[in-house]
Amino acid sequence: MPRILQARRCASILVCLLLAAAAWAHHGWSSYDTSKVMKFDAALAEVRYRNPHAEVEVEHEGTRWLVILAPISRMQARGLPAELLTVGKVVTIEGYPRSDGTAELRAERITVDGKTVELR
């Protein structure tokens, strides 16, 4: 096989491996402990309504938690536009904490203004 074809083949394989690794890292939900459901009310301290997933930060039991929500297209389709997530608003969050003890939660649902939105 000519060297140029070998180089292209190697480059193609490398790109595929990198894309697969990035996809796996992005959808690495296995790092959350689904046997430990957390549900609590908290005021939103920070809101980042962006892709690939919206995020909020809240204070819970003296710890600041990063809460991973859903992609904004899903939240909008289910009735949770950016205007409803404002700093200071109290929401109810239900989800799974990270297995490694990091103060991060993968939210399954969020209740805002009395309306519960399923995020998964």
18 shares its domain with 73:
no
46 shares its domain with 76:
yes
Q: Which helix (H) or strand (E) holds 76?
A: helix 72-77
Q: How many domains does the chain have?
A: 2
Host domain of residue 15: 1-29
pLDDT in tens, 27-62: 467 899 999 999 999 999 999 999 999 999 999 999
pLDDT in tens, 77-87: 999 999 999 99
Average pLDDT over all residues of the chain: 86
66 shares its domain with 98:
yes
Nearest to 65 by CA among 35, 34, 32: 32
CATH number at residue 104: 2.40.50.140
12 shares its domain with 69:
no
| 63 contacts 77 by C-beta, under 8 angstroms | no
Beta-strand (E) ranges in the chain? 38-48, 55-60, 63-68, 90-97, 104-112, 115-118
The sign of the CA dihedral 50, 67, 85, 76 is positive
